[in-house]
Amino acid sequence: MTHTYQITGMTCGSCEAKVKSALLTIKDVTDVEVSKENNTATISMDRHVDLLEMQKVLGDKYEISTIAHHETEEEFRSWLATYKPVLLIFLYIFSATALIELTSENFDVMRWMRHFMAGFFLTFSFFKLLNLKGFKESYLMYDIVARKIPAWGYVYAFTELALGVAYLINFNPIITNSVTFVVMTVSIIGVLKTVLDKKTIKCACLGNVFNLPMSTVTIIEDGLMILMSLGMLIMTLN
């Protein structure tokens, strides 16, 4: 993806070179073209890099900002391209489980949530198990348990698989939802810390297959599982 930004503070050709070399130090930035005449920098990148990260490498002398009339649309397209795999997975699982209920005699919300959770955990564990070692190494970069107990990365992948099977066969809803609530709540702590600290870390939610950056999408993903497991637990107890 390529974006063009406004750069202020450049006064000579040397400034162009300094801006270019600084921006090229950012991970995943592949090419930079700087124009002092137009006060712009056209940046090619493998992932979307936010302004704060770019401003940090430029220092106080140069200021980078968006070119408003194109940037919003470009950022949205970039966001869609980056998170297309996880969005498609959620869409497929949601659609498949909703169709099951729509073709049944009655739409059972509890059953739909159970099937959705089964699809979620089975699908996401599948991608993790494709490269279990790669997932473990990515996961320990931010998970609070995996950092202290690296083997938890291996255990977590199989825990998701077990939860998927448990939801599919409707195994003891109280135990299944309680375990899900605890596991996902612990998992989201590391995610929240990483996002709030604005760290650039690969999300391990789809294992090592896709290069997805950690973001609010990951928080929503984990948060949804927490809310659904809590909701089903409450409905079961009532």
Q: Kindly report, residue by residue over 130-169, the tens digit of the pLDDT.
A: 999 999 998 998 999 999 999 999 999 999 999 999 999 9
Q: Which two tokens stand for residue 50?
A: 């936010």
Residue ranges in the chain modelled with pLDDT below 50: 69
Amino acid of residue 185: T
Residues counted in the chain: 238
Q: What is the pLDDT of residue 68?
A: 54
As a whole number of angstroms, the distance between CA 54 and CA 120 comes to 35
As a whole number of angstroms, the distance between CA 194 and CA 217 comes to 13
Q: Which two tokens stand for residue 163?
A: 């939860």
Which three-class secondary structure state does DSSP give residue 162? helix
Best CA proximity match to 134, nearest among 65, 203, 85, 187: 203
From residue 11, alpha-carbon distances to 8, 14, 20, 58 in Å are: 9, 8, 14, 15
Q: What is the pLDDT of residue 107?
A: 92
Tell me how far the alpha carbon of residue 139 is from its chain's centroid. Answer: 12
Question: Structure pTM?
Answer: 0.69
Q: Is the Cβ–Cβ distance between 141 and 148 less than 8 Å?
A: no
φ and ψ at 181, to 5 degrees?
Answer: -60, -45
- CA angle 21/25/27 to nearest 5° reads 145
Residue with tokens 């939801």: 167
Q: Using CB atoms within 10 A of its CB, is residue 222 exposed (0-12), middle (13-18) or buried (19+)?
A: buried
